C-alpha cells in the first residue's frame, strides 16, 4: 500500500465512523435516560426510534442560522469550528485495535496498525495537548456572543477545564512509570504482557482519571459551563442550527475520547484473558484482528454507558464544590498515587504486581480513612445561590 494512501484511508474511516457513532450515541443516551427514569424515550421516527438521529441531523441543517447583532462575527463563527476540529484531531493517535494482517490488503507480512497516525511515540501527550486547546472554542464562543450568560459560561469553562487538566495529568504519570512509554499501543502491550490491567494496581489513579475525564468532557454532574438552570445554555446560548450542532458533536467526541483513553490506559485496551491474549503483531490473523477490535469496542461502549449512567443518576455540583473537588481532592489524590507508583517502581521488581496491588488498594483505604477523620460537618444554612452561608440569630 502506498505510504500516503494508508493514513488517508484510516482518517476517512475514522471520521465516517465517528459521525455515525455520535449520531446514534445520542439516541442511545436518550434511550438510557428513558430506561433510568422509567419512560419510553424516542419511539416515533422509524422502528424503535432508529431514524431519530437522521431527523435530528435534518433539523440542524434546516434551522435558521442566526448571528446576534452585537456579536463578533468572525470569532463567533470560528468558535464551533475550533472546538470540533480539536475534538476530531485527538483521535489521530488513538488506536482502534491491535493490528490488521497486511496480507488482506496485499501488503505482505507487514502488519497494519489501526492508529490513524501510526508510529507516534508521544501519542498520549499529543491527545492531552490537542484536547486542552478545545477550551479556546468554548471561551471564544462565550465571549463573541455578547451575551452575559454565554460570557459566564466561558469563564466557568476556562476555570474548570484548566483546573481538571492538572489531576488528569497526574493520574496517568503512574501508569507511564509502569509502562515506560507514551505510546498507547505499548501501554496496552505492557498490560497484556504483565497480565494485569493498570486499574487493579493503580485504583487511586483510575478514580482520579475517571472523575477528571468526566469533568474535562463537561458532562453531568460537571456541566457547569452550560447548566440551563443558571446560564440558559451557557457558552452556546446564542448558537443555532449547525453551529450549535457542532458544539453538541464535539461534546460527544470528548466523551468518546475519554472512554477510549480509560479503556486503553487502565482497562487493558484490546487485551482479554483467554479471548484476546497478547500476541506478536506478525502472528495476528484476520479473525484475531477482528476479535481485538471487538474487545476494545465492547469495553469502550460499556465505558460510555457508565458515563451516561452517571449523567442521569447524579445531581449537578455547585460551582464552588466543583472547584474544591479539583484543588482539594483530585490533585492531592493524584499526588498520592504518583508517590506510591514511584516508590513501587524504584524498590520493587518489575514483575512484582501483587505488592503493587496491595499498596495501591492500601492507599485507597488510607485516603478514605483520612477523609472520614478530617471531615467537618457543615455549619449554618445556605441561601438560594448556595455558596454564602446565611447568618442566623
pLDDT tens string 115-126:
888 777 888 999
Q: What's the pLDDT at 229?
A: 64
Q: What's the pLDDT at 390?
A: 45
In a domain, 378, yes or no: no
Which range marks the domain in which residue 293 is found?
68-372
The cell numbers describing 257, all together, are 475520547
- The 10 Å Cβ neighbour count of residue 294 is 15
In a domain, 358, yes or no: yes
- The 10 Å Cβ neighbour count of residue 2 is 7
DSSP per residue, 193-250 = HHT--HHHH-HHHHHHHHHHHHHHTT-TTS-GGG-HHHHTTGGGTT--HHHHHHHHHH
The average pLDDT across 90-104 equals 83
Q: What's the pLDDT at 385?
A: 45
In a domain, 11, yes or no: no
* Cβ–Cβ under 8 Å, residues 268 and 206: no
In a domain, 109, yes or no: yes
Q: Number of folded domains in the chain?
A: 1
Q: What's the pLDDT at 156?
A: 81
Q: How far apart are CA 248 and CA 22, in angstroms?
A: 9
Confidence band, pLDDT 50/70/90 cuts, at residue 278: confident
In a domain, 380, yes or no: no
Q: Which stretches of 37-69 are DSSP H helices? A: 52-62
In a domain, 82, yes or no: yes
- Proportion of the chain above pLDDT 90, given as a percent: 27
In a domain, 38, yes or no: no
In a domain, 75, yes or no: yes
Amino acid at each position: 500500500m502506498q505510504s500516503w494512501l494508508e493514513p488517508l484511508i484510516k482518517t476517512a474511516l475514522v471520521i465516517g465512523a465517528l459521525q455515525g457513532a455520535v449520531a446514534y450515541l445520542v439516541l442511545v443516551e436518550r434511550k438510557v435516560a428513558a430506561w433510568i427514569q422509567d419512560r419510553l424515550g424516542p419511539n416515533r421516527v422509524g422502528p424503535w426510534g432508529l431514524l431519530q438521529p437522521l431527523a435530528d441531523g435534518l433539523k440542524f441543517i434546516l434551522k435558521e442560522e442566526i448571528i446576534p447583532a452585537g456579536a463578533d462575527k468572525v470569532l463567533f463563527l470560528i468558535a464551533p469550528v475550533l472546538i470540533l476540529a480539536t475534538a476530531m484531531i485527538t483521535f489521530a493517535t488513538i488506536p482502534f485495535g491491535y493490528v490488521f494482517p497486511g496480507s488482506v490488503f496485499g501488503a505482505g507480512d507487514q502488519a497494519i496498525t489501526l492508529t490513524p497516525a501510526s508510529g507516534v511515540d508521544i501519542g498520549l501527550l499529543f491527545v492531552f495537548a490537542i484536547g486542552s486547546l478545545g477550551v479556546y472554542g468554548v471561551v471564544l464562543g462565550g465571549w463573541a456572543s455578547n451575551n452575559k450568560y454565554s460570557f459566564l459560561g466561558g469563564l466557568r469553562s476556562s476555570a474548570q477545564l484548566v483546573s481538571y487538566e492538572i489531576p488528569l495529568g497526574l493520574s496517568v504519570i503512574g501508569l507511564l512509570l509502569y509502562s515506560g512509554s507514551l505510546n498507547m499501543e505499548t501501554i496496552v502491550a505492557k498490560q497484556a504482557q504483565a497480565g494485569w490491567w493498570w486499574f487493579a494496581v493503580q485504583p487511586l489513579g483510575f478514580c482520579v482519571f475517571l472523575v477528571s475525564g468526566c469533568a474535562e468532557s463537561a458532562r453531568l454532574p460537571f456541566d457547569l459551563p452550560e447548566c440551563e438552570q443558571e446560564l440558559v445554555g451557557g457558552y452556546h446560548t446564542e448558537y443555532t442550527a449547525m453551529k450549535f450542532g457542532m458544539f453538541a458533536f464535539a461534546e460527544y467526541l470528548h466523551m468518546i475520547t475519554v472512554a477510549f483513553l480509560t479503556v486503553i490506559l487502565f482497562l487493558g485496551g484490546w487485551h482479554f484473558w483467554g479471548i484476546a491474549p497478547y500476541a506478536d503483531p506478525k502472528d495476528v490473523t484476520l479473525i484475531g484482528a477482528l476479535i481485538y477490535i471487538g474487545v476494545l469496542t465492547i469495553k469502550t461502549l460499556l465505558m460510555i454507558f457508565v458515563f451516561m449512567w452517571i449523567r442521569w443518576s447524579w445531581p449537578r455540583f455547585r460551582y464552588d464544590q466543583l472547584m474544591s473537588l479539583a484543588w482539594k481532592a483530585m490533585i492531592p489524590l493524584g499526588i498520592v498515587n504518583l508517590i506510591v507508583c514511584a516508590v513501587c517502581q524504584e524498590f520493587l521488581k518489575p514483575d512484582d504486581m501483587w505488592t503493587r496491588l496491595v499498596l495501591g488498594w492500601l492507599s485507597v483505604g488510607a485516603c478514605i480513612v483520612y477523609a472520614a477523620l478530617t471531615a467537618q460537618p457543615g455549619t449554618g444554612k445556605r441561601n438560594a445561590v448556595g455558596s454564602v452561608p446565611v447568618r442566623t440569630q
